[in-house]
Amino acid sequence: MTDRFLGLLGLAMRAGKLSAGAYSAVRSAEEGSARLMVAAEDIGAANRRRIEAVCREYKIPLAFHSTTAELSRSIGKKNVPVVCVCDDSFAAAAKKYDLKYDLNGKDGSANE
């Protein structure tokens, strides 16, 4: 399942429906285009606090999945600890996978 989810992120990147990196993800959230944030499980503490605060403020689901290296490789970039899905269809497709939601998991699987 993990490989398929990372493949979905790669497809979203090629389709132009993904913001890569903490700065771009935050900007997408502020612009209102963010539908789902996916952060690496090994994300740094400062980035984690920043992303969690943004997701809480804008009510965006936040999922933690894989490592920074795996996440980066799946989208064809280097050292990307967080990505933001900016399309409803890709976000809905992502919910089919067993993701560990931390905040605002709208499908009921949120860890509280």
Mean pLDDT of 7-31: 96
Class of domain 2-103: alpha beta
**Higher pLDDT, residue 64 or 99:** 64
Segment (H or E) for 6: helix 2-14
Round to whole Å and give the CA distance between 49 and 8: 26
78-99 pLDDT, tens digit each: 999 999 999 999 999 988 887 7
Query: Domain locations in the chain?
Result: 2-103
Instruction: Name residue 35's amino acid.
Output: R
Q: Which residues contact 51 (CB under 8 A, 6 or more apart)?
A: 22, 25, 26, 37, 39, 43, 62, 82
Task: Find tokens 């939601």 and name the residue.
Answer: 101
Strand segments (E) across 12-106: 18-20, 36-39, 62-64, 82-85, 100-103
In angstroms, the CA 41 to CA 104 distance is 17
Which pTM does this prediction carry? 0.85
Q: What is the pLDDT of residue 99?
A: 79
> Mind listing the pLDDT tens digit for each residue in 39-56?
999 999 999 999 999 999
